[in-house]
Amino acid sequence: MTQQTTLAPTLTLANGVAMPLLGLGTWPMNDQEAAHTVAEAIGLGYRLIDTAENYGNEKGVGEGIRRSGIPRDEIFLTTKFNRQWHSVAGAREACEASLKRLGVDYIDLLLIHWPNSDQDRYVDAFHGLVKLLEAGLVRAIGTSNFKPDHLQRLFDAGLVPHHNQIQLDPYHRRDDLLAIHKERGITTGAWRPLGCGNAMLADPVITSIAEAHGRTAAQIILRWIVQQGIVTTPKSANPVRLAQNLALFDFTLSDAEIAALDTLDRPDPTMLNADVFGH
């Protein structure tokens, strides 16, 4: 087992639960790869692990946590459930199934994976999350891929998620959602923080900042995210990149560098649309 090197700082959710700013994403690992990589990452100092029912690797994630030898209460575990469970009772079924696959007694953060507006049951699903929170089966509750209109439906029902996990990176800034999150006390999570392919990693604005700091382009992108107080969970199974992705907290981007990265936002017609996509 790799020796622990560092721990990411935490932010505090609206209900007082502390969540690490940087964690490990596990899609599209299978159970075997997840078990190995999760244990390796925890050994490096990762304390946030992100999975989902739809990833098909919760069993492996739970095994990796046990292999690490780190006490369960030192790990922050996030998972998400699919559209078939969008009801009050369904949320309970989904949670219990995830608990069984993970082999744990509680989940730190349970999210509705997609709003699935076509079936229009995500408000009921969130009421189910509230009951799970009250029952102590989860420590915090939230949403994933919810757009402003989806969040407003929750607000109108008197419901506010602790966390909303969205696609966010320098090419997808999501300022409309960030403003709503700030107003309502919702923390933000960024999935796919390094984009698809290598386009962002080769962007000259990013690579020039990376060269100035003696860092990788990926580290600059991840630092841009966490320096805004946004949680992110990049996926890697490579021990070198796992260590690099965690090594974000001993340097700071200048205001000018942040401003330069902020200019990279652009329209993306291929971006998954949560009004029509979901599982």
Please give the positions annotated as active site.
Answer: 55
User: SS3 for 112?
Assistant: strand
- Between CA 102 and CA 60 the distance in angstroms is 8
User: SS3 for 129?
Assistant: helix
- Identify the residue whose tokens are 């730190």: 108
Both structure tokens of 217: 């382009």
CA angle centred on 184, ends 263 and 258, rounded to 5°: 20
Residue 273 DSSP class: -
Query: Which of 64, 65, 67, 59 lies closest to 31 in space, CA to CA?
Result: 59
- Between CA 272 and CA 154 the distance in angstroms is 21
